[in-house]
Amino acid sequence: MNLINKKIIGILISLMIIITAINFVFAQVQTWPAYNTCCEKTKNGAWCQNTFKENCDKSPDSVSGKAYRDSPTSCDSTSFCKLGCCVDSEEGICMENSPQRVCQESTGTWLDDSKCNVPQCSLGCCVLGDQASFVTLTRCKRISNIYGLKTNFRKDIKKESECILLAYSQDKGACVYEVENQKTCMLTTRAECDNSGKSEKSSNITSGTEFFKDYLCSADELGTNCGPTTETICVEGKDEIYFKDSCGNPANIYDSNRIYSKDPLYWKKIIPKSQACNYNNKDGNKNSKSCGNCNYLQGSICGNGEANFGDKICKDLNCYKTENGNDYKNGESWCIYNSETGQGQDTVGSRHFRHVCIQGEETTEPCADFRNEICLQQKVNTVYGSFIEGACRTNRWKDCIDQITQKKCENTDKRDCYWIEGMHYDGAGQKKNSGNQSFSGGTTSTTTQTNPNGTGIVNGEGICLPNYPPGLKFWESGDASSVCSLGNSQQIIEYNTNIFNSKSCKNNCEVLENSWIDKMNKVCSSLGDCGAKANIAGKYTEDAVLVKDNGNVKVMNGILTDVKGGSENRVNWRNSDYDYDYK
């Protein structure tokens, strides 16, 4: 084969190689997109994965109700899988590089910072009583909540070693030092002991201080001039009674069975409250002469009294034979009323009061006058037993008369009303208009619908009335009269007349019954200080129910007499307040 032919064959082989390579490249380009779909959620439950499109879950999203999304691009480029910081407040943790959708699914708060360089995720020292932990602010809030402590986050502490040292400085024990060549002691914290030599007040200290964690100053091995005694003291900020050593330092909780002669070890190291006498006593060792393990939440605290040793006892903080004759625990509160209350029974001039038992003293807190506030109480169950709590809150009576259904009337989340069957206010539920009048009870005001063209209170259906009638300023123009006039009723009674001119009631005869008078008066007295009603002094308004027949007003005093007239009599009931006739 000659040289020319060899060159031609070589060129052909090269071209074939190039074409094959090009085809290979083209094949790669054509198949690449199938691997580059971002699935918000895959069929196997994984979140934000780059995979084949057929692997994407297209079922409805439980949050939005729409199908889970996918995008023909990298997950890093999508909005729903964008990486950021997920703050889980419930667990108190911060998670870096968390996809937004994953964070939302776990009910976390997503922030656009993949490294979590945000204030709530900054590290600091979380102080928990006499302990400390180097965590984030979010975690500190969570831990504090678990232990029922106020959050104490020291963001100025930037190192874990400093945080640990802070907790270490809160250790309690004996601080031993010399004063004028005499070895003495004080019960304090490590930090205070270390600083005692630097204080101007401790200039008489002639030696360095030495701290002994968990030791009492009366411990024999310390060799100080502080010894045991049978005296007791109250310590500020503490519930319990403590023994006092000869240097004036508190020792362990008072227990008459553990004086030094009976139990020398009780004067060596600090004993926690849980290991002291009668820790589980349900009454907090009230008035005990032998045990000083008091408990404020159980109704006792250190106070003066006669004991087996010393002059302190666990003082009883509860209240006995209170104004209503009942006994109450310390901190409990309850309601006192001047009269019967609820269902429109509050008398004229009455008021609600909240009483509180505070360290054995019964105190009184009046709710707002004119019954603008009412007192409500409930029983709460705690680890220390049932507990009564009372509180004054706003009387929500203003829109009662406008409710037309029993369900809305008795909705205690919105109003304080009650429902009466068999009567109806014909202005209830109507829209307010320019003819409205403004009524005020005490110092608050409201606008209530009146129906000047209607008949007022009528028979049938039901009516919604204030459960706690508001007090009214009857001496001010337009106050009591406007509210009480809502209880007016105009009724038409039809009669049959025979040939002897004798009449018999034909229609609407129930309004002639005494029961109608009682029902009308119930409406009037529930609207406010209206109707035939007694006041706080026991005086009864006798002429509160009136009948007007053809313009002639008659005081009925609760008894409806026969009203003579034609075949049709128009009877007007009017409500009277404080012996006033509102016409």
3-state DSSP of 494-519: EEEECCCCCEEEEECHHHHCHHHHHH
Q: Can you tell me the distance from the alpha carbon of 527 to that of 489, in angstroms, rounded to the nearest whole number?
A: 14
Place of tokens 């009017």: 574
pLDDT recorded at residue 308: 97
pLDDT over 60 (residue 558)? no
Q: Can you tell me the distance from the alpha carbon of 294 to that of 242, in angstroms, rounded to the nearest whole number?
A: 10
- Most confident of the ranges 54-58, 273-277, 492-496: 273-277
Are 70 and 38 in contact by the 8 Å Cβ rule? The answer is yes
pLDDT recorded at residue 556: 52
Residue type, 67: A
Express each pLDDT in 114-138 by its tens digit. Answer: 888 888 888 889 988 778 888 888 8
Q: Regarding predicted confidence, which is higher, 173 or 191?
A: 173
**pTM for the predicted model, two decimal places:** 0.61
Sequence-separated (6 or more) residues with CB below 8 Å from residue 32: none
Residue 237 within a domain: yes
Domain final residue pick, 354, 375, 394 = 394
Place of tokens 């012996």: 579
Sequence-separated (6 or more) residues with CB below 8 Å from residue 93: 87, 136, 138, 139
Structure tokens that stand for 281 in this block: 């006593």
Residue 295 within a domain: yes
Q: How far is CA 300 from CA 11, 287, 294, in A?
A: 107, 8, 5
Q: Regarding predicted confidence, which is higher, 111 or 90?
A: 111
Torsion sign over Cα 37, 40, 45, 46 = positive
Across 536-561, average pLDDT = 63
Sequence-separated (6 or more) residues with CB below 8 Å from residue 270: 172, 173, 214, 215, 216, 252
Residue 46 within a domain: no
Exposed, middle or buried: residue 513 (CB in 10 Å: 0-12, 13-18, 19+)? exposed
Among candidates 557, 562, 559, 549, which has minimal Cα distance to 576? 557
430 with 456, same domain: the answer is yes
340 with 451, same domain: the answer is no
| Bridge partners, residue 187, by sequence | 174
pLDDT recorded at residue 561: 36
Among candidates 318, 257, 255, which has minimal Cα distance to 286? 318
pLDDT over 70 (residue 215)? yes
| Bridge partners, residue 246, by sequence | none
pLDDT recorded at residue 382: 81
Phi-psi bin for 267: left (phi > 0), alpha (psi -120 to 50), beta?
Answer: alpha
**How many of the other CB atoms lie within 10 Å of CB of 366?**
13
- Most confident of the ranges 305-309, 532-536, 545-549: 305-309
Q: Please work out, in degrees rounded to the nearest 5, the angle formed at the alpha carbon of residue 182 by the alpha carbons of 180 and 186.
A: 105
Rounded to a whole number, what is the distance in angstroms from the first to the last CA of the chain? 137
Q: C-alpha 119: how far from its chain's center?
A: 28
pLDDT over 60 (residue 438)? no
pLDDT recorded at residue 25: 42
Domain final residue pick, 316, 341, 375 = 316
559 with 431, same domain: the answer is yes
Residue 24 backbone phi and psi in degrees, to 5: -65, -40
pLDDT over 80 (residue 454)? no
Structure tokens that stand for 522 in this block: 């119930």
Express each pLDDT in 29-63 by its tens digit. Answer: 444 445 678 888 898 888 888 888 888 988 887 76
**Residue ranges making up the domain that contains 187:** 171-316
Structure tokens that stand for 369 in this block: 């006058």
pLDDT recorded at residue 447: 36
185 with 284, same domain: the answer is yes
pLDDT recorded at residue 418: 96
417 with 566, same domain: the answer is yes
385 with 429, same domain: the answer is no
Express each pLDDT in 311-369 by its tens digit. Answer: 999 999 999 999 999 999 999 999 999 899 999 999 988 999 999 999 999 999 999 99
pLDDT recorded at residue 105: 75
- DSSP, res 23: H
436 with 550, same domain: the answer is yes
428 with 545, same domain: the answer is yes
Residue 28 within a domain: no
Dihedral over alpha carbons 222, 223, 226, 230 (to 10 degrees): 90
pLDDT recorded at residue 263: 96
Percent of the chain scored above 70 by pLDDT?
A: 79
Residue 570 within a domain: yes
Three-state DSSP at 532 gives coil
pLDDT recorded at residue 570: 43
Q: How far is CA 244 from CA 77, 258, 268, in A?
A: 71, 13, 13
Domain final residue pick, 350, 372, 394 = 394
- DSSP, res 200: G
Q: Can you tell me the distance from the alpha carbon of 436 to that of 457, in angstroms, rounded to the nearest whole number?
A: 18
Are 231 and 292 in contact by the 8 Å Cβ rule? The answer is no
Q: Can you tell me the distance from the alpha carbon of 287 to that of 317, in angstroms, rounded to the nearest whole number?
A: 10
237 with 193, same domain: the answer is yes
Phi-psi bin for 359: left (phi > 0), alpha (psi -120 to 50), beta?
Answer: left
Strand order in the sheet with 47-51: 47-51, 37-41, 70-71
pLDDT recorded at residue 258: 97
- Tally of domains in the chain: 3
188 with 284, same domain: the answer is yes
Three-state DSSP at 408 gives helix
Express each pLDDT in 134-184 by its tens digit. Answer: 888 888 888 888 888 888 898 888 888 888 878 788 889 999 999 888 899
Are 202 and 216 in contact by the 8 Å Cβ rule? The answer is no
Are 476 and 439 in contact by the 8 Å Cβ rule? The answer is no
475 with 339, same domain: the answer is no
Q: Please work out, in degrees rounded to the nearest 5, the angle formed at the alpha carbon of residue 246 by the alpha carbons of 241 and 251.
A: 35
440 with 552, same domain: the answer is yes
Q: What is the mean pLDDT of the chain?
A: 81
